[in-house]
Amino acid sequence: MKLEFDLTTYLEKIKNSSDYFHTFINRDSLAAGVLVLRPGEEDTQTPHESDEVYYIISGDGFLKINNKDYKVSKDKLFFVAKDVEHYFHGNTKELKVLYFFGGPDS
C-alpha cells in the first residue's frame, strides 16, 4: 500500500478532469482526498455514510451544515457527522479542501 502522497499530483488530476474532487485513499477504515471548487462552481455532494473532517487549504466562502453557514478560510477545520446534509458555497476564490472520512468514500 502507498504510504506517501503528494497533493499537487491530485490537484492537477482535478484540474484536468470534469470532477471537482479526488479520493486518493479509500479503505474500509479511512478515506482521504482533495476537493477544488472554482468561484461559483456548485458543490453537489450528498450526506455521507461516515463522519467527515474538512481542512481548508486555501480559499473562501461558506460550508453549510444542517442549514447553518460557517465561514470558510485557510487553516480552518470542520467536522460533519455522518448522514448530515452539508455543502460548500459562496466562494469568490478557488477553494481547496483536504477531506477525511471515518470509513470508505461511498
Domains of the chain: 7-101 (2.60.120.10)
What is the chain's mean pLDDT, rounded?
96
DSSP output for 20-64: SEEEEEE-SS-EEEEEEE-TT--------SS-EEEEEEE---EEE
Using the predicted structure, report yes or no on whether residue 101 has a pLDDT greater than 90. Answer: yes
Q: What is the pLDDT of residue 33?
A: 97
Q: How far is CA 40 from the centre of its chain?
A: 16
Over residues 75-102, mean pLDDT: 97
pTM of the model: 0.94
How open is the CA angle 8-54-86, to the nearest 5 degrees? Answer: 125
Q: What is the pLDDT of residue 55?
A: 98
* CB atoms inside a 10 Å sphere around CB 34: 23
Q: Which three cell numbers stand for residue 58?
A: 486555501
Q: Which three cell numbers stand for residue 68?
A: 447553518
Q: Which three cell numbers stand for residue 51?
A: 463522519
Contact yes or no for 86/101 (Cβ under 8 A): no
Q: Which three cell numbers stand for residue 41?
A: 462552481
Using the predicted structure, report yes or no on whether residue 90 has a pLDDT greater than 80. Answer: yes
Q: What is the pLDDT of residue 1?
A: 79
